[in-house]
Amino acid sequence: MGRPPSVKPTSFDIAYLAGVSQPTVSRALRGSKSVSAATRANIERIARELNYMVDKNASSLRSQRTHTLALLFFEDPTPDESMINPFFLSMLGSITRECALRGYDLLISFQQMHNDWHVAYQDSHRSDGIILLGYGDYQLYLSKLEHLVEMGTNFVRWGSVSSEGIGLTVGSDNVGAGEQAGAHLVEIGRRAIAFLGDASDHAPEFQDRYTGLCRALRAADIVPDAALQRDAISSEASGYAAAQSLLAGRKRFDAIFAASDLIAIGAMRALSEAGLKLPQDVAIIGFDDIPAAGLTSPTLTTVMQDMKGAGTLLVDALLASIDGRPVEQRMLPARLIRRQSTAV
């Protein structure tokens, strides 16, 4: 029934010291109820004394459960290789914390959008499930998701909840947030409100925000004007370009709702360079509340998403899906943060 304790203690060592068999040790430590309280206490004491830790590999191999989740960042290739979207990074903290709380490890990896879906597949073999945080062209993204579904991989992704999507999705109430932003701009007297951000189904989240804006406009009896919308991806450069294009157009506008803070910041630069006064000439609202939003001048009114809730919900939904519990799509409320860029 045993050998004496060795270098790295195993369940056998504990069994030997406790005078029981190895399986009993396993049962005791995993909380099986078919082990007496006295035996369990004894085993737990010895384990603590020896600094014993269950060997994760052996355990996973046997049980076929890794107790590990993989976090996969999907991104469009950027010129600056090492840049990561600050918005998703802010979710990292809460996801990690939530995983730790549930006793799960978190594996992390970054992928360029154009890469083989194989990577995700690979990750699915090292973990019980995958959390997907992606941005970029949604249509490119789709085929990868289909592969995952096909293979029965457990995964959740952050994205647009309102549009029907593939797989389990958690996201902010983008439509509602867009509506709040629009209502606020109307409230401060603006009527010619431009939207910067791709409004097609290549970017469902942006599309939702635009939908919300339009809804707010109609509620104020304003007819949304397609001539005041410009496509932009989430980068400062893209926002700058979009705003310039807007300025070049013949349509006048007195406010901008940008689909992300980076776009808004780029737009602000373009507007300033054109000699416009913010927010007097043009009020502007961003989205995400990245740290930089509080540092621009004027400081940027924006929509704050519930990142902490997001991490919790993502992990929660994924674990439910892994355990075969029923899960529903869930939407998180977003909140408007009023700053100088809309203070008139």
Partner DNA sequence: GGCCATAGGGTATACGTATACGCATAATAT
Partner DNA sequence: ATATTATGCGTATACGTATACCCTATGGCC
Residue ranges binding DNA (CB under 7 A): 1, 8, 10-12, 19-24, 26-27, 29-30, 33-36, 38-39, 52, 54-55, 58-59, 61-64
162 near a copy of itself, judged by CB under 8 A: no
Termini Cα distance of the chain: 80
Rounded Cα–Cα distance for residues 110 and 316 (Å): 22
Tokens of 93: 């903290």
| Amino acid residing at 300 | L
Rounded Cα–Cα distance for residues 196 and 86 (Å): 19
Residue 13 vs 98, nearer CB to DNA: 13
53 near a copy of itself, judged by CB under 8 A: yes
307 near a copy of itself, judged by CB under 8 A: yes
Residue 63 vs 272, nearer CB to DNA: 63
Query: Residues 86, 189, 249, 333: which binds a copy of itself (CB under 8 A)?
Result: 86
For the window 106-145, what string marks contact with a copy of itself as x by the rule CB under 8 A? xxxxx----------xx--xx-------------------
Rounded Cα–Cα distance for residues 215 and 177 (Å): 11
Query: Residues 41, 219, 227, 295: which binds a copy of itself (CB under 8 A)?
Result: 295
> If you ran DSSP here, which 8-state letter would residue 276 be given?
-
Residue 197 CB partners (closer than 8 Å, separation 6+): 203, 206, 209, 210, 231, 232, 234, 258, 259, 260, 263
Residue 108 interacting partner from a copy of itself, DNA, none (CB closer than 5 to 8 Å by kind): a copy of itself
Contact by Cβ (8 Å): 28, 40: yes
Contact by Cβ (8 Å): 315, 97: no
Contact by Cβ (8 Å): 185, 193: yes
Residue 296 vs 321, nearer CB to a copy of itself: 296
92 near a copy of itself, judged by CB under 8 A: yes
21 near a copy of itself, judged by CB under 8 A: no
> If you ran DSSP here, which 8-state letter would residue 170 be given?
E
**Closest listed residue to residue 199, CA positions, set 233, 165, 169, 240:** 233
Taking the complex as a whole, the smallest distance from the CB of residue 295 to a copy of itself amounts, in Å, to 5
Residue 53 vs 226, nearer CB to DNA: 53
Taking the complex as a whole, the smallest distance from the CB of residue 63 to DNA amounts, in Å, to 4
Taking the complex as a whole, the smallest distance from the CB of residue 151 to DNA amounts, in Å, to 16
Residue 77 interacting partner from DNA, a copy of itself, none (CB closer than 5 to 8 Å by kind): none
Ranges of beta strands (E only) in the chain are: 68-75, 105-112, 129-134, 155-158, 168-172, 193-196, 229-230, 255-258, 283-285, 302-305, 330-332, 334-337
Residue 29 vs 247, nearer CB to DNA: 29
Q: Please give the residue ranges that form the binding site for a copy of itself (CB under 8 A).
A: 51, 53, 55-58, 60-61, 66, 68, 71, 81-84, 86, 89-90, 92-94, 96-97, 100, 105-110, 121-122, 125-126, 265, 291-292, 295-297, 307-308, 311
